[in-house]
Amino acid sequence: MTLEQILTSIRTDPSLARHLTAWREIPARTGRFAPIPFSIDARLTSALRRSGIEALYSHQAEAFEVAQSGKHFVVVTPTASGKTLCYNLSVLNSLLAAPETRALYLFPTKALSMDQVDELQTLVRALNVDIKAYTYDGDTPGAARRAIRTAGHVVVTNPDMLHAAILPHHTKWLRLFENLRYVVVDELHTYRGLFGSHMGNVLRRLRRICRFYGSNPQVIFASATIGNPKELAERLLEEEVTLIDDNGAPSGPKVLAFYNPPVINRELGIRRDALSEAGRLAGEFIRNRIPLIAFSRSRRSAELLTTEFKSIAASHHISPDRVAGYRAGYLPSERRAIEKGLREGDVLAVAATNALELGIDIGRLQAALLVGYPGTIASTWQQAGRAGRTQDLSAAILVATSDPLDQYIVRHPEYFFGQSPEAGLVNPDNLYVLTSHVRCAAFELPVDEGERFGPNTLPEILDYLEQQQIVHREGDRWHYVADAYPAQDVSLRSASTENVVIIDTGDPAPRVVGEVDLASAPGLVHEDAIYIHLGQQYHVDRLEWEERKAYVHHVDVDYYTTAQIAVDVRVLAEFAKGEASPPPAHGEVVVTYRPTIFKKLTLERHENVGWGPIHLPESTMHTTAYWLALPDLSIPREEIQGLLIGLSHALEHVASLFLMCDPRDLGRTYEVHSPHTGRPTLFLYDAFPGGVGFAERLFRMHAQVLAAARDLIAACPCETGCPSCVGPVLQVGGTGKARALEVLDARLVPGAAR
Amino acid sequence: MPGSSPGLRDSVLRDRLAALNVVGRMRREPVRPAMPWDRRDRDRDGTPFEIRRSVRTVREIFGREKPHPSDYGALFLDTETTGLSGGTGTTPFLIGLATLERHEVTLEQYFLRRLSGEAAMLEALRDRLVEAETLVTFNGRRFDWPILEARFIMSRMPLDPPSDHTDLITAARRLWYRPLGTYRLSVIERQALGIDRVDDVDSAEIPGMYLEYLRTGDIGPIEPVFAHNQQDVTCLLHLRRRVRRWIEDGEDPPPPVDWEGLGVLRLQANREVDAESALRRALTVEDDPAVRWRIATRLARVLRRGARWDELLSLWEREVGGRGAWRVRALIETAKVYQRRLRRPDRASAILEEASRVVEWLLLRGEPAAHVMDGEVRNRLTRLSTRYSNSQVR
């Protein structure tokens, strides 16, 4: 069957069709073109013609024009719309005019950098001039580095290398910084949350170094779908940025459908498992050899899907080698092999996590399955966009889980299709992040009195660093004097730079199978956990916490494990509180994580078949939180806990929708009697040290969020609570759902009571 | 916290910084309180950097030995820095220099009393660098020179690289890495040069000592660093003179020394005769078959260049006494000498036959490289017989 026939059969098969809550056919778009501008170097024009480009898409021509005016700009158009030409044209044109010109390209990952250099080099070859474009990353051989530093016209790297290897050694990059004309920041949408907050500071440092060398580069941002490209770029750059978002590229027709698995237990609100439903749909595609990508939200789900896909393939006489998994924790070589397999068609189906979400070139897939709402509207469009980069028909199906957010989205498709994608929220002024980068900046150049670096808190931060004997003040300058390389201690991607290495102690010799970041380690590789890698199960025999090593051996069991982590929160400072009584508030808190127990759940039916304790040290994090104390209630004491669990469950999910953030960026906890408010209180906090501003925003839009939580709970078909609204009845008790509604109706949502 | 007074904000900010623990480690409490920056160095003349100069006689430094002629015109340099990791945040605060002229050795130390004196210090250093014919350092290519280069750029001062830079670590690595297990200057000084230092400071402590000086303005506690630096520079003088004599004048060093390394250094200096004697000496003491093989290969190259075929033959025949794969390799080399140099294909093929018997045994034992060797021996035998029969026909 062709894709078209498969789609028809899905729509007409009653057992499937009635669970489709949305079916949108997005028509093909015709392209809008503009002539190649006359002001472009004739050599470049003819090179473009030789590569088959006779005219530009309208947005490419617009980008060239804005670039000529010297303004910073941001290009936002979908995948495969010729975004890279938007900056390559201007960069190459400047290089042809003045060969000493330099450009710096920043991509969030190494794989993307390599893709880009290949593309740029193809164009340069067509030009037949001596323009050198190089990737500079951790894999660049030592001998090549010197040549790149002095002779590379276009240096392609990632923010981490810029932060840890280039800026701290800027004197070796004299030629680059003296002549830097363009800085390209592609995949802008990835620079949000903590990573974006770091990126803002890396850009501050970059431009500070440029000023020292007398250059003032023009910055070009490019991005996939995101709600606030201009605002985000301006927040990162702290200057005005011109927006180019009128896409002139054509695209093929596309179907985007929502599928909500049927309820199998109405009382408990239990729906059929999204993973098995996805397997069923995937069977149609795999059987008909339609290239397929499935995204799931956790590493574990990706592994389970991989196993499922392999068995589907086997039953249709397709080699299981044509099915692959793809997620963080795979070794880079494994990943490159899978990407290549996808591009060349050797791999037919891949089960991935969002590790594959970025613009890594994996060729032309026709179908995408999104198992579970990816968390944001933007990433939904991006994941769906992995299918159908060509002019042909493509399809993406979102299979909902029982998560409240999934349920809200598939039951309110008009919300999804009517809403603009999420805004990227960053806070480069986060004190933790800012201070880390002031330290790095001082290492790069002494800091002068009156210099600005972000907000006007520089003197206080320098005072603190002097106290810590990191900088030394002399007259109106602070000099770096510590015997340490500060960039080494600062990771742009996570709160900690540390990983736990997973070592297989089995035959024939011990080998490293992967690694997990320190924060996830207590939940994934505690002793007796089942760790899944490349579809293989491993039993964790020993976790050497101080050594950051987990020793595992290969097993074959019919269960997996899931860890429970107790969260405590303590208020340090209240920044603001609202009008209501008792008032909602936000402020600084310290959160303590204490892993407690793990459960063993069967692979088939997720039934609990055992548990064990986790012995690991607790960890703490300073961050910002929003909290909500409940008013005086005539509710029996024993029902308060269920009420708090239910309310916080619903609130957390609705909040991430309104905050337009990934649900994982928020944490939640509650206290039946909070020492701070003296009342039952629930807390939602930023899941990064220092916070990126979610708590404050939540505080400001608190009324809207509470109203939406009420809608979610009231509209849920379950009787006494389910994972889709207040959480399972086992957690919230028989009255949790009713009490939560009661509280929302009576006290928190003005006008909702009737 | 909009609306709060600046004073309050400052103290809240300070508390938050302390609570966030950004630096990630607790600093030990300073032993002594810091002096306000404008009151440090108060009893000094106020110059931001100072030069300490002392002149010794050549005899004081070298005893009865004579400096090498090329030591005149060389600038010996060693720096002490605020950190050991390199990068733009590492400042050299003490630069030790030594130069020779007639019967005198001039030792100079440029010391940064204040970080703001750096440009002046670099300018003074540049004058010395311009005069020098050669720069001599220990690990200077990787450490001292890149740091100085960075400092010049950051002070916006042009700097021409010295026309010649001898980094003694290259020779030190060759001469002592194997016998001493390290090429740290302090170990070499004691073990190989026989110089004992007294009351030396630990290099790892030096950055902290300088920071303490900056904070307090008290020069007393940092004095040992001056002595340390002067000893390092003096050690450079000794090291370079001895290394030159061993390499260029054919004098033999006292043990412990890596004779193979010495041979290589002499080869690089085009002292072939001395190199050969060092390599031969290396072979007499070497047990590790892989290293023996490497030494023999180097020696063979020397012998081939001199067309000394009989000596080449006896070199490889001696290595035939090795075990397993090493024996096979030596047999192949012996056969090559017979075939190509001595025109004795019959002997060559007899030796290859023997090699093939050893290979068979290695194959049985499952030796990893046995298949490769098997192929090579077979190929050689085939080629030999073809050529041999061809020449018969002719």
Contact B17 A461 (CB under 8 A): yes
Nearest CA to A530 among A522, A539, A520, A521? A539
Strands A323-326 and A349-352 come out as parallel
Is A172 an interface residue toward B (CB < 8 Å)?
Answer: yes
At A413-465, the pLDDT tens digits run: 887 887 777 777 788 888 888 999 999 999 999 999 999 999 988 999 999 99
State chain B's maximal CA–CA distance in angstroms: 108
Q: Could you tell me which residue, A663 or A146, shows the higher pLDDT?
A: A146
Residue A435 at interface with chain B, using a CB cutoff of 8 Å: yes
Q: What are phi and psi of B337, to 5 degrees?
A: -65, -45
Share of chain B above pLDDT 70, in %: 88
Higher pLDDT, A368 or B3: A368
Per-position b or e across A404-423, b if 16+ CB within 10 A of its CB: bbbbbbbbbbeebeeeebbb
A690 to B89: CB separation less than 8 angstroms, yes or no:
no
- Give how far A680 is from chain B: nearest CA, Å: 26
Please answer yes or no on whether A481 and B87 come within 8 Å at the CB atom. Answer: no
Distance from CA of A707 to the nearest CA of B (A): 28
Burial annotation A648-673 (CB, 10 A radius, 16+ → b, else e): bbbbbbbbbbebbbbbebbbbbbbee
User: Which of A443, A472, A689 has its CB closest to that of B211?
Assistant: A472
- Give the pLDDT band of residue B43 (cuts 50, 70, 90): very low
Q: Is A689 on the interface with B (CB under 8 A)?
A: yes
Q: Please report, to the nearest 10 degrees, the dihedral formed by the alpha carbons of residues A219, A222, A227, A229 taken in order.
A: 10
Query: Residue-wise over B348-362: b if at least 16 C-beta within 10 A, else e?
Result: bbebbebbbebbeeb
With 0-12 CB in 10 A as exposed, 13-18 as middle and 19+ as buried, what is A206? buried
Kind plus residue range of the DSSP H or E element containing B50: strand B49-57
Q: Which of A109, A114, A156, A108 is nearest to A133 (CA)?
A: A156
* C-beta neighbour count of B371 within 10 angstroms: 12
Query: How many angstroms separate the CA of residue B393 from the nearest CA in chain A?
Result: 53
What mean pLDDT is predicted for residues B43-54? 76
Report the C-alpha gap between A441 and A458 in whole angstroms: 11
- Cα(B359)–Cα(B373) distance, integer angstroms: 7
Q: Is B88's CB within 8 Å of A169's CB?
A: yes
| Position A696 pLDDT exceeds 90 | no
Residue B299 has pLDDT above 80, yes or no: yes
User: Quick one: pLDDT at residue B186?
Assistant: 86
CA B394 to chain centre: 57
Average pLDDT, chain B: 87
Backbone angles phi, psi at B268, to 5 degrees: -60, -30
The answer to whether A575 faces chain B, any CB pair under 8 Å, is yes
Residue of A nearest to B81 (CA): A483
Please give the single-letter amino acid code of residue B58.
Answer: V
User: Which pLDDT score is estimated for A557?
Assistant: 87
Taking contacts as CB-CB distances below 8 angstroms, the residues of chain A near B38 are: 475
Residues of B in contact with A488 (CB under 8 A): 85
DSSP per residue, A66-111: HHHTT--EEEE--TTS-HHHHHHHHHHHHHHH-TT-EEEEE-SSHH
State whether residue A151 sits within 8 Å of chain B by CB: no
* Residue B83: closest C-alpha in chain A: A483
- Closest residue of A to B12, CA-based? A573
Per-residue confidence band for A58, with pLDDT thresholds at 50, 70 and 90 = very high
pLDDT, tens only, A326-345:
887 777 778 778 888 888 88
> Quick one: average pLDDT of A621-625?
84
Q: Would you place residue A387 in the very low, low, confident or very high pLDDT band (cuts 50, 70, 90)? A: confident
Interval B7-37: pLDDT, tens: 445 566 777 777 666 665 444 444 455 655 4
Q: Which residues of A touch B29 (CB under 8 A)?
A: none
Mean pLDDT of B70-82: 93
Strands (E), A260-391: 263-265, 270-271, 292-296, 323-326, 349-352, 367-371
Rg, C-alpha atoms of chain A: 27
Is the predicted pLDDT of residue B390 greater than 80, yes or no?
A: no
- Taken in order A84, A90, A96, A100, the sign of the CA dihedral is negative
pLDDT at position A46: 93
Q: Angle of helix A110-127 relative to helix A83-97, nearest 10 degrees?
A: 50
User: Are β-strands A180-185 and A102-106 bridged in parallel, bridged antiparallel, or unpaired?
Assistant: parallel
DSSP for A399-438, written as a single string: EP-SSHHHHHHHH-HHHHHHSPPPPPP--TT-HHHHHHHH
Site of tokens 């093939």: B356
Q: Are the Cβ atoms of A481 and B1 closer than 8 angstroms?
A: no
Give the mutation candidate from B31, B32, B88, B113 for the A interface (greatest A CB count, under 10 A): B88
CA-nearest residue to A620 within chain B is: B20
Query: Per residue in A241-271, pLDDT tens?
Result: 999 999 898 888 999 999 999 988 776 667 8
Euclidean distance between CA atoms B100 and B68, whole angstroms: 10
Chain B residue with minimal CA distance to A447?
B89
Give the distance from residue B116's alpha carbon to the nearest chain A alpha carbon, in angstroms. 7
Residue A270 CB coordination number (10 Å): 17
A581-602 mean pLDDT: 86
What is chain B's length?
394
* A469 at interface of B, judged by CB pairs closer than 8 A: yes
Name every chain A residue with its beta carbon within 8 A of the beta carbon of B89: 168, 442-444, 480, 482, 485-486
Cα A438 to Cα A453: distance, rounded to the nearest angstrom: 8
Q: Output the CA angle B155-B161-B162, nearest 5 degrees.
A: 130
Which pLDDT belongs to residue A488? Answer: 84
Establish if A691 touches chain B: CB-CB under 8 angstroms: no
Per the model's pLDDT, the better-predicted residue between B297 and A508 turns out to be: B297
Interchain CB distance below 8 Å, B89 and A442: yes
Q: How many CB pairs below 8 Å do chains A and B form together?
A: 117
Of B365, B369, B305, B302, the residue nearest B332 (C-alpha) = B369
* Pairwise CA distance, residues A268 & A692, whole Å: 36
The answer to whether the CB of A112 falls within 8 A of the CB of A96 is no
Cβ burial, residue B94 (10 Å; 0-12/13-18/19+): buried
Highest mean pLDDT among A126-130, A242-246, A294-298, A614-618: A242-246
- Tokens linked to B233: 């520079």
Tens-place pLDDT, residues A149-167: 989 999 999 999 999 999 9
Confidence of residue B247 (pLDDT cuts 50, 70, 90): very high
Strand spans (E) along A481-558: 499-504, 511-517, 530-533, 536-544, 549-555
CB contact under 8 A, A171 and B88: yes
A158 interface with B at CB cutoff 8 Å:
no
Residue of chain B whose alpha carbon sits nearest to that of A173: B150
Asked if A460 and B84 come within 8 Å (Cβ–Cβ), the reply is no
Interchain contact, B37 vs A474, CB within 8 Å: yes
The ipTM of this complex is 0.85
Give the separation between CA A297 and CA A295, rounded to whole angstroms: 7
> Would the CB atoms of A489 and B214 count as touching at under 8 Å?
no
Q: How confident is the model at residue A51 (pLDDT cuts 50, 70, 90)?
A: confident
Burial class (CB in 10 A: 0-12, 13-18, 19+), A35: exposed
Q: Sign of dihedral through CA atoms B41, B46, B47, B50?
A: negative
Which pLDDT score, from 0 to 100, does residue B394 have?
A: 40
Q: Is A528 left (phi over 0), alpha (psi -120 to 50) or beta?
A: left
Q: Would the CA dihedral through A459, A460, A462, A466 be positive or negative? A: positive
Structure-derived torsion over alpha carbons of residues B125, B131, B135, B141, reported in degrees to the nearest 10: 50
User: Which one of A149, A432, A448, A483 makes the best mutation probe of the B interface by having the most chain B beta carbons within 10 Å?
Assistant: A483
Helix runs in B81-222, H state only = 118-131, 144-154, 168-180, 185-191, 206-216
List the end-to-end C-alpha distance of chain B, in Å, as a whole number.
102
- On the question of pLDDT at A575 being above 90, the answer is no
The answer to whether the beta carbons of residues B135 and B75 sit under 8 Å apart is yes
Whether residue A448 lies within 8 A of chain B, CB to CB, comes out as no
For residue range B117-129, what is the model confidence (pLDDT) as tens digits?
999 999 999 999 9
Q: Where are the alpha helices (DSSP H) in A535-635?
A: none
- B135 vs A549: which has the higher pLDDT: B135
- What are the percentages of helix, strand and coil residues in chain A, rounded to 5? 40, 25, 35
Whole-angstrom Cα distance, residue A459 to residue A154? Answer: 36
Q: Find which of B4, B11, B15, B17 to mutate to test the A interface (most A CBs within 10 Å of its CB).
A: B17
Query: Both tokens of residue A367?
Result: 């179908």
The Cβ-side half-sphere exposure at A186, using a 13 Å CA radius, reads 27
Q: With contacts defined as CB-CB under 8 Å, which chain B residues touch A690?
A: 20
Least CB–CB distance from A475: residue in B37, B87, B91 = B37
pLDDT at A500: 82
Sign, Cα dihedral of A607, A609, A613, A614: negative
Q: Could you tell me if A205 lies within 8 Å of chain B, comparing CB atoms? A: no
In the block, residue with structure tokens 């006292």: B254
Stated as kind and residue range, the H or E segment containing A314 is helix A299-315
User: Which residues are registered as beta bridge partners of A627?
Assistant: A585, A683
The string of pLDDT tens digits covering residues A193-226 is 778 989 999 999 999 999 999 999 999 999 887 8
Please, where are the H alpha helices in chain B? Answer: 6-20, 58-62, 118-131, 144-154, 168-180, 185-191, 206-216, 223-248, 259-268, 272-285, 289-305, 309-319, 324-336, 345-365, 370-393
Residues of B with CB under 8 A from a CB of A: 1, 10, 12-14, 16-24, 27, 30, 37-38, 82-89, 91, 114-116, 146, 149-150, 153-154, 207-208, 210-211, 214-215
- Residues A475, B30: C-beta atoms closer than 8 Å: no
For B193-208, what is each residue's pLDDT tens digit?
A: 888 887 788 888 999 9
- Confidence category of residue B44, pLDDT binned at 50, 70, 90: low
Residues 6+ apart with CB under 8 A from A520: none
Inform me whether the pLDDT recorded for A621 exceeds 60. yes
pLDDT tens digits for range A513-552:
877 777 778 888 899 998 877 667 889 999 988 888 899 9
HSE, CB side, 13 Å, CA atoms: give it for residue B114: 21
Query: Which CA distances in Å does A543 have to A134, A510, A551?
Result: 41, 15, 6
In this prediction, residue B19 carries a pLDDT of 64
Identify the burial level of B45 via C-beta atoms within 10 angstroms of its C-beta, where 0-12 means exposed, 13-18 middle and 19 or more buried. exposed
Q: Which amino acid is at A444?
A: E
pLDDT for A184 equals 97
In the block, tokens 């088959």 appear at A52
